[in-house]
Amino acid sequence: MSLPEQHILPERQLKELQKAMLDFMQTQGYAESSAVFARETGNEGFVADAKDRHHNLLAKKWTSVIRLQKKIMELETRLAKLQDDIRTGAAGARRPGAARSAEWLPRPPAKQRLAQHRQPITCVRFHPQYTVLATASEDMSVKIWDSESGDFERSLKGHTKTVQGMAFDAKGAVLVTCSADLTLRVWDVADEYKCVRTLHGHDHCVSAVCFLGADKLVSASRDKTVKVWDLATGYCVRTLAGHAAWVRGVAVSPDARLICTASNDQSVRVWDPATGECRADMRGHENVVEAAKFAPPAAHPFLRRLAGLPPPPLPPKPSTTTTTATDDDDAAAAAAAAAAATADAPHHQAHYFVVSAARDKTLRLWDVASQQPLHTFVGHDDWVRDFVFHPSGKTLISVSDDKTMRVWDLATGRCTKTIEASSHFTTCIDFSTVNPMVATGSVDTEVSLWECR
């Protein structure tokens, strides 16, 4: 008789599989089979428990495999069509249109309406590398979706009050959520979104969170503070205090040197997270400021045109001064100083623009250096709740309690398109970096996916 083939699973995974199978047998009433299998695998003491992590795990894995197989088949079909297009020359004929796809904007009607949450939607975030969408709600849960098909994948539970905000890291390996339960939670995307850490430190509702580089987090809270956290240890490494009321929004500059915050005190502040210094306190809104974000570099030329500012100065040319051989030490010192100055030049010359959205029905453009408003975007009929910059840098898309999504031309400041986004207040928005797609969330408990064309 031939020897049985050895299993290829590591011991830990093998035990997990055995317990998942036992849970399935016991919950399905296969008592005799379960008893024999438990004895043969050395798991005689195992008892199915709804609170155990193995409960219903086999069924979840099975449905995940089916979903992945379906996805593979869809991708194989698309690949075959693309290969056929290349062979027949159809792909080349469509190429000019593809070049314009970077400027595509959302068009009605919504491609998908995702309805699984039981309470208003508070935040939507696309994964930076995959067709995955995370949605947060007042129902205390985060739900994960396939943004391309609209299929619901899983629900993340652990928070005990409203989940207010979320952020993926740049690689999409980690999802961080924040909640009215005073905590932030860190979820490992690769390990089936397992919660690997809970951060405690705020004294009130945590309103928003974002990444500061790869290893730090920044959170804003109703306790009037902004905290900087070390992701690896979960420790708070700095607290920024200065706002006089609830801090509702927080964002990091593209170069990760500065933080901007939005508050109920009607101000927008800019901070240096390294020192804790408040670098700018910008005032002009006439009501609560819901969100504030740094404009990406792609938007700077259009914002400069809008504000009537001259083009940015060119970086200084490196020095060509020559020295004699007897001045070797001085020449070396001068060269080192010039190199240091050149390396620091981008930092000293960096120009920052911030856009804010408020309950006074407007968005405002700010120049951080002068702390002055450069333009006011007027058009919404109710609180402006959130906005996102288009990847091209040419436009900005905002959502409001007036139930609309509006597209703004950043070179002129005009609203170029208004879309009825939902049947109730529209609370949040995000733009996918993977597919030309926009997601919006609403108080009506639904998430809408908008295809850009």
- pLDDT tens digits, 138-151: 999 999 999 999 99
Question: Residues 280, 292: contact at Cβ < 8 Å?
Answer: no
Q: For residue 371, give the amino acid letter.
A: Q
Judgement on whether residues 133 and 215 belong to the same structural domain of the protein: yes
Judgement on whether residues 49 and 126 belong to the same structural domain of the protein: no
Asked if the structure places residue 133 within a domain, the reply is yes
Asked if the structure places residue 355 within a domain, the reply is yes
Sheet holding 289-294, edge to edge: 289-294, 353-358, 362-367, 372-378
pLDDT digits (tens, 9 = 90+) for 165-224: 999 999 999 999 999 999 999 999 999 999 999 999 999 999 999 999 999 999 999 999
Per-residue pLDDT band at 342 (split at 50, 70, 90):
very low
Question: Residues 205, 215: contact at Cβ < 8 Å?
Answer: no
CA–CA dist 113, 405 (Å, integer): 15
Asked if the structure places residue 264 within a domain, the reply is yes
Structural domain ending residue among the three candidates 55, 72, 88: 55
- What string of H, E and C letters represents the secondary structure of 219-285? EEECCCEEEEEECCCCCEEEEEECCCCCEEEEEECCCCCCEEEEECCCEEEEEECCCCEEEEEEECC
The half-sphere exposure of 199 on its side-chain side, counting CA atoms within 13 A, is 27
φ/ψ bin of 166: left (φ > 0), alpha (ψ from -120 to 50), beta (otherwise) = beta
CA–CA dist 241, 401 (Å, integer): 30
Q: Is 121 exposed, middle or buried (0-12, 13-18, 19+ CB in 10 A)?
A: buried
Question: For 99-111, what is the mean pLDDT?
Answer: 83
Least reliable range by pLDDT among 22-36, 417-431, 437-451: 22-36
Residues in the chain: 453
In the chain, the number of structural domains is: 2
What are the beta bridge partners of residue 229? 217, 236
Element (H, E) at 188: strand 183-188
* Sequence-separated contacts (24+) of 18-25 with Cβ below 8 Å: 18/43, 19/43, 19/46, 19/54, 20/54, 20/57, 20/58, 20/61, 21/58, 22/46, 22/48, 22/54, 23/48, 23/52, 23/54, 23/55, 23/56, 23/57, 23/58, 24/56, 24/58, 24/59
Asked if the structure places residue 67 within a domain, the reply is no
CA–CA dist 256, 209 (Å, integer): 14
Question: Residues 41, 17: contact at Cβ < 8 Å?
Answer: no
Question: For 85-104, what is the mean pLDDT?
Answer: 57
pLDDT digits (tens, 9 = 90+) for 252-275: 999 999 999 999 999 999 999 999
Judgement on whether residues 114 and 216 belong to the same structural domain of the protein: yes
Judgement on whether residues 28 and 124 belong to the same structural domain of the protein: no
| Predicted TM-score (pTM) of this structure | 0.76
pLDDT digits (tens, 9 = 90+) for 26-63: 989 999 999 999 999 999 989 988 878 788 888 877 87
Residue % of the chain over a pLDDT of 90: 72
Judgement on whether residues 39 and 128 belong to the same structural domain of the protein: no
Predicted pLDDT of residue 241? 97
Q: For residue 443, give the amino acid letter.
A: V
Judgement on whether residues 116 and 30 belong to the same structural domain of the protein: no
Judgement on whether residues 51 and 147 belong to the same structural domain of the protein: no
Q: Is 234 exposed, middle or buried (0-12, 13-18, 19+ CB in 10 A)?
A: middle
Predicted pLDDT of residue 85? 67
Residue % of the chain over a pLDDT of 70: 87
Predicted pLDDT of residue 77? 78
Per-residue pLDDT band at 318 (split at 50, 70, 90):
low
Judgement on whether residues 133 and 240 belong to the same structural domain of the protein: yes
**Position 346 pLDDT exceeds 50:** no
Domain around 50: 11-55
**Position 282 pLDDT exceeds 90:** yes
CA–CA dist 415, 380 (Å, integer): 9
**Position 96 pLDDT exceeds 60:** no
CA–CA dist 67, 153 (Å, integer): 9
Judgement on whether residues 292 and 394 belong to the same structural domain of the protein: yes
CATH code of residue 191: 2.130.10.10
Residue 53 DSSP code: T
Predicted pLDDT of residue 336? 47
Asked if the structure places residue 253 within a domain, the reply is yes
CA–CA dist 267, 288 (Å, integer): 8
**Position 319 pLDDT exceeds 60:** no
Per-residue pLDDT band at 321 (split at 50, 70, 90):
very low
Per-residue pLDDT band at 335 (split at 50, 70, 90):
very low
Judgement on whether residues 131 and 190 belong to the same structural domain of the protein: yes
Per-residue pLDDT band at 14 (split at 50, 70, 90):
confident
C-alpha of 437 from chain center: 14
Predicted pLDDT of residue 4? 54
Helix (H, G, I), strand (E, B) or coil at 419: strand
Predicted pLDDT of residue 325? 43
Judgement on whether residues 41 and 115 belong to the same structural domain of the protein: no
Asked if the structure places residue 265 within a domain, the reply is yes
Judgement on whether residues 38 and 139 belong to the same structural domain of the protein: no
Asked if the structure places residue 141 within a domain, the reply is yes
**Position 329 pLDDT exceeds 80:** no
> What are residue 30's phi and psi, to 5 degrees?
-90, 65
Predicted pLDDT of residue 112? 95
Asked if the structure places residue 36 within a domain, the reply is yes
**Position 129 pLDDT exceeds 50:** yes
Other C-beta atoms closer than 10 Å to the C-beta of 190 total 9
φ/ψ bin of 174: left (φ > 0), alpha (ψ from -120 to 50), beta (otherwise) = beta
